[in-house]
Every structure is written in structure tokens, then in C-alpha cells.
Structure 1
Amino acid sequence: MANTLTVLLVGAGLSLGGFWVYGNRSRDVENVSLRPEPVPLVMSQRSYPLCSRTTRRNCVVDGDTFYTAKDKIRISDIDAPETHPPRCAEEADLGDRATNRLSELLSAGAFELVSAGRDEDRYGRKLRVVMRKGRSIGDILVSEGIARTWTGRRQPWCSENDGSFG
């Protein structure tokens, strides 16, 4: 009888001790993220000229797309006017301005590429927010009136009165 009582007490102690050491794990699961926090990729300072037919490394395609050494990046927090092809003269002008300004901004110093949501778009471009010193480069383009904040779908850049290219 004494041995049975000892076994019961030791078993209960081990059970309570395990609960004390490991705690209530079901409560802790709520605090565990299933997706790791995105780690920004820091891009060192270099020149980002406009892309050409032969240059596809560290260059700017248009106002919201550029190449790094190994990836094609689509700036995910903005929409810039199309340049390939523009649909009207207004879009062509804004698109050229956005493209040249993005080249200037990327070439001005080191920046970070931060993942935000989906990793890639349907064209295989990496979707990233481009940050420098805590500010989105996309926000700079938006504040200058040559890009829009991305709302989830493209909107036209051409007014009804602007002559269409096709």
C-alpha cells in the first residue's frame, strides 16, 4: 500500500513538474508566427542607369520596375505609368519622368528591399518595398506626382481628352 501511494505521488509530481517546466503549450501557440518576419535585403550603393537591350543588371526598366544583380524587382507599394508602351502622350511623359527619377533615387545610396505579402507577381518579378532611411522610395515618387499608391489594380493614366496611342 505504501509503495502504491509512493508511485502515485511520484507520478503526480512528475506530471505537475512537467506542466511547470513546459507550461500550457496551447496558450503559447497563439504567440508563434507561422511566417517568419521578413528580413530586409540591403543593397549597397551603386549606379542604376536605365536598362538597355543588352543591360539587365542593376538598371531601371520603368518607374516601378528595376533589375538588381540577380532579380527583377517590382516595387510593390506603387503603380507608375507605363512606358512599354504608353497609351497616351500624358502617360508617356509621366512614365519617362518616373523612370528617370527612380534611376536617380536608386543611385543615390544604399537601400533595403523589404518583402511585403506575396513574394512574386504573375510575371516572376520579386515584389518588394524599397526603403531608404525608414522611408519608402515609392512614397517619394507618389509625393512627386509621378506614381500612385498601389491599390490592388491598375488604373488609367490617360484622360479622355488626351490623344490615345492605340
Structure 2
Amino acid sequence: MGDVVGFRKRRRSRSRRRGLLETPWLIPALVVMAVAGFYGRDAISDATGLGLISNSSVAAGRGSFRECYTPLDRTCVIDGDTIRLKGEKIRLLDIDAPEVRDYKCASEKERGDRATLRLVEILNSGTVSIERKGSRDVDQYGRSLRIVQVDGRSAGGILVAEGLARPWSGKRRPWCL
């Protein structure tokens, strides 16, 4: 007799779980949320016609670039020398900017944050062109190596002139003294 009661209790809990999954609105709602999370943030950016084609200009509408918040963000600024354009990671070939994640000191983090925000402003200020240059196409982390220009000016060069980055010398140097 005790087995029958235990069986009924287990059966009831299973039916509750099954009932939740069989709710007619749950699965469609989860699908809509997943699609909106993946595409929704970049729908405006993608509508402006951004695309990565080497040695070409792409029109960047105002506000097309912003800071990256999740790995699902497709067009955004990761840090002062790395962007994501339609899902492709691009490393600005001509500069080295301070780190915002694996920083060695507070001043490096602070300068890296300023470089990131400034790069967002620069990229949103005009027509962005992406140019392949040199023999290396991809770095050790799988990022495309490109010169990024806005209205004919190097985005990296602007950061260097403002003291938020330095010219790339071929190797990383410390930002902390």
C-alpha cells in the first residue's frame, strides 16, 4: 500500500512539470525572446547596410556602434583596439590600446575604458572604411587585422593623437609604470 502512495506522489510531480512545458505560450515566448536577444540589438545596425568587405567603405549610421555588452552583440566596440562588425572581430592593425579586461593596474583600466568610449564616438562620426593591409590577415586570437578609417582618417591614429593608444610596434608593452 505504501508503494502505491509513493507512486502517486511521483506521478503528480511529473505531471506538474509536463504541464508547464505543455503551456501553449511558453515555447513560442522563449523562441521570440531568443530571436529578439540575438537579432534585436543589432537590427538597426544591420538595416544601415553595414558589411565587412575588404578595401571598401561602409556607411555607418549614427549610433550604429556601441560598447559590446554580450558575445551576441554583432556590431560594437570591444575595447580601444578591437571592434565587432556584423559578428566579425576586427583588431585595429595600427595601434595598441590599454586593456579593459586583463589590465595590470587601475590606470590602465581607466585609460582603456576611455579609449573604448572614444572609439565608439569616432566610429559613429562618419563613413567607416575597413582596409586589409600587410601580409597577415588574422592574429593569434582569430581577429581580422584591418586598418579602420572614418572619413579617410585612421580611427587608431585619432586615439594615438589623443593619448588613448600608441602606435603598434609589433609587440605589447606595459601600460603601468
TM-score between both structures, scaled by the size of structure 1: 0.69
Task: Work out the CA distance in 2 between the residues paired with 1:61 and 1:134.
Answer: 22
User: Counterparts of 1:119 and 1:54 in 2: how far apart (Å)?
Assistant: 22
Where does residue 45 of structure 1 map in the other structure? 60
Residue of structure 1 in register with 2:28 after alignment: none
Give the structure 1 partner of residue 171 of structure 2: 153
Report sequence identity in percent: 48
Question: Residue 98 of structure 2 is aligned with which of 81, 94, 102?
Answer: 81
The verdict on how the C-alpha distance between 1:101 and 1:153 changes in structure 2, with shifts beyond 3 A counting, is same
* 1:121 aligned partner: 139
Residue in structure 2 matched with residue 29 of structure 1 by the alignment: none
Contact persistence 2:73–2:87 (CA under 8 A): no
**Bigger mean CA deviation after superposition, 51-60 or 141-150:** 51-60
Aligned equivalent of 2:40: none
Greater relative contact order (CA < 8 Å, ≥ 6 in sequence): 1
Pick from 45, 64, 87: which aligns with 2:81?
Answer: 64
| Aligned AA (1:125) | R
1:45 and 1:153, CA in 2 relative to 1: closer, same or farther beyond 3 A?
A: same
Identify if the C-alpha distance between structure 1 residues 142 and 89 changes in structure 2 by more than 3 Å, giving closer, same or farther: same
User: Runs of 4 or more off by more than 2 Å in structure 1?
Assistant: none
Q: Aligned ranges for residues 138-149 of structure 1 at < 5 Å?
A: 138-149=156-167
SS in 2 for 1:105: helix
Larger Cα-atom Rg = 1
Query: Quick one: which of 91, 109, 122 aligns to 2:126?
Result: 109
- Which whole-Å CA distance do the structure 2 matches of 1:149 and 1:67 have between them? 21
Whichever residue aligns with residue 40 of structure 1, its letter is N
5+ residue gaps, structure 2, are 1-52
Query: Pairwise mapping of residues 122-137 of structure 1 onto structure 2 (< 5 A)?
Result: 122-137=140-155
Judging changes above 3 Å, is the alpha-carbon distance between structure 1 residues 112 and 54 closer, same or farther for their aligned structure 2 residues? same
Quick one: distance in 1 between partners of 2:120 and 2:72? 14
Q: Which has the higher helix share?
A: 2
* Shift, 1:85, TM fit: 2.1
TM (normalized to structure 2)?
A: 0.65
Tell me the CA shift for residue 54 of structure 1. 4.9
How much is the aligned-residue C-alpha RMSD, in angstroms? Answer: 1.6
Partner of 1:6: none
Assess if the C-alpha contact under 8 Å between 2:57 and 2:129 holds in 1: yes
